[in-house]
Amino acid sequence: MRNLLLKTSAIVVLALSLNSCAKKNTTTTTPGPPSMSATMNGTATTYTGTATSGSNYMTIKGTSANYTLTIYLHTPISTGTVSLGASGGSYAVVQTGAGGYWATNGTTATGSITISSYTSSPNAISATFSFNAAPSSGANMVVTNGSFANLSY
62-102: pLDDT as tens digits? 999 999 999 999 999 999 999 998 667 899 999 998 889 99
Alpha-carbon 152 to chain mean position: 8
- Here the contacts of 2-7 (C-beta below 8 Å, separation 24 or greater) are none
Residue 9 reports pLDDT greater than 70: no
State pLDDT tens for residues 15-45.
434 444 444 333 345 567 899 999 999 999 9
The answer to the question of residue 5 being in a domain is no
Collapsing DSSP states into helix, strand and coil, what is residue 62? Answer: strand
Collapsing DSSP states into helix, strand and coil, what is residue 18? Answer: helix
Structural domain count of the chain: 1
DSSP 85: S
The answer to the question of residue 113 being in a domain is yes
Question: Can you tell me the distance from the alpha carbon of 130 to that of 142, in angstroms, rounded to the nearest whole number?
Answer: 8
- 43 contact partners, CB below 8 Å, separation of at least 6: none
The answer to the question of residue 14 being in a domain is no
Question: Can you tell me the distance from the alpha carbon of 140 to that of 19, in angstroms, rounded to the nearest whole number?
Answer: 65
The answer to the question of residue 27 being in a domain is no
The answer to the question of residue 118 being in a domain is yes
Indicate the average pLDDT of the chain: 83
The answer to the question of residue 19 being in a domain is no
Alpha-carbon 30 to chain mean position: 14
Question: Can you tell me the distance from the alpha carbon of 50 to that of 63, in angstroms, rounded to the nearest whole number?
Answer: 9
Question: Can you tell me the distance from the alpha carbon of 101 to that of 96, in angstroms, rounded to the nearest whole number?
Answer: 7
The answer to the question of residue 2 being in a domain is no
- 55 contact partners, CB below 8 Å, separation of at least 6: 75
* Domain that residue 146 falls in: 43-152
The answer to the question of residue 86 being in a domain is yes
Q: What is the dihedral angle through the alpha carbons of 37, 39, 40, 42, rounded to the nearest 10 degrees?
A: 160
